[in-house]
A = this chain, B = another copy of it.
Amino acid sequence: MPTLTRRAESFSALVLEVFQLNGLLLQAGDRLSAPAGLTSARWQVLGVIDHGPATVAAVARTMGLARQSVQQTADALASDGFVEYVENPNHQRAKCVSLTAAGRRALRKVEQAHAAWADRLGASLAPARLAAAVDGVREARLRLEKDLAEEGRDEA
């Protein structure tokens, strides 16, 4: 194993922590949404179209996911009656995904549970510490985004 510099060690520690926290957050999200008959992925899609009906491709762009991933989730939500496809006046083929009454009920339920959860967890951390974490992670994300974009350009 190549010996890491101090700053590389530090960055690697952040990577490990982020992986672990991410896993726990997914677990928590599933637990929050399960009582409403949803999962994390489905809840997030409902959250996007709560602002108004949108096409699958538009939802995917908003969420930063591949179009087909959202397509799959949207189809599953439709077959469970949480959303429905409605005509899109701007595009004959690309229908809009729209919340049904059941979808809206489920979403409200999850949002209430989520608000209580976020408040509980947020309260357990010192505000300054929490703010520093958000800042640091955002900074790391921006650097990594830039790094990946540059690498990608080299290969192209």
Residues of A within 8 A of B (CB): 1-5, 7-15, 17-25, 27-28, 31, 50, 64, 111-112, 115, 118-125, 127, 129-141, 143-145, 147-148, 151
CB closest residue in chain B, given A27: B148
In the bound assembly, the distance between CA atoms of A18 and B17 in angstroms comes to 10
Q: Which residues of B contact A12 (CB under 8 A)?
A: 118, 122
Which residue from B2, B50, B133 sits with its C-beta under 8 Å from A115?
B2
Chain B residues, CB < 8 A from A19:
22, 25
Residue among A3, A50, A143 with most chain B CB within 10 A:
A143
Note all chain B residues with C-beta closer than 8 A to A4.
115, 118-119
